[in-house]
């Protein structure tokens, strides 16, 4: 039995994720294996190389190669402070009065993050992707 099929698990850790991508560029975070469908539940960004310095990066998260916003629309990463080395950002849809709707990601597709606005200076982080396969 594969734990990633039965529980919400850490699917992958990506180091050196570029937060200075130009608008429209994507960073692939996870490729869904053959025979599975992926349900993302959370992305944790951590181990930032610096604080956001006035022009915060903005990213969407979802299926790569398209709008890339099926999981989360624009996320402004403007809470990275001088404590950047020990901070993390937990990104996930928040349920309100109505259930949150999101697309599952089919086999062979990628779960990616797409830049809407680049950070004003070079900046990287580590991205942990959580979810499960079915």
Map out the domains of the chain as residue ranges. 3-11+21-91+106-133
Note the pLDDT tens digit of each residue in 33-56.
999 999 999 999 999 998 766 788
- Domain 3-11+21-91+106-133 fold: Jelly Rolls (2.60.120)
Closest CA to 20 of 47, 53, 65: 53
The model's pTM:
0.91
pLDDT over 70 at 79, yes or no: yes
β-bridge partners, 9:
131
What's the average model confidence in pLDDT over 90-119?
Answer: 89
What's the average model confidence in pLDDT over 76-100?
Answer: 84
| DSSP secondary structure code for residue 32 in this structure | P
> Does residue 130 sit in helix, strand or coil?
strand
| DSSP secondary structure code for residue 19 in this structure | S
Answer for the pair 123, 48: CB distance below 8 angstroms, yes or no: yes
């Amino acid at each position: 039995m594969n734990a990633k099929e039965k529980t919400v698990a850490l699917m992958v850790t990506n180091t050196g994720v570029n937060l200075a991508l130009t608008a429209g560029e994507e960073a692939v975070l996870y490729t869904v294996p053959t025979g599975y469908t992926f349900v993302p539940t959370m992305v944790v960004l951590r181990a930032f190389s610096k604080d956001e310095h006035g022009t915060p990066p903005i990213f969407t998260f979802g299926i790569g190669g398209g709008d890339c916003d099926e999981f989360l629309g624009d996320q402004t990463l403007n809470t990275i402070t001088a404590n950047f080395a020990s901070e993390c950002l937990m990104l996930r849809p928040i349920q309100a009065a109505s259930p949150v709707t999101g697309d599952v990601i089919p086999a062979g597709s990628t779960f990616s993050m797409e830049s809407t606005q680049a950070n004003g200076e070079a900046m990287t982080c580590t991205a942990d992707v959580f979810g499960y396969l079915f």
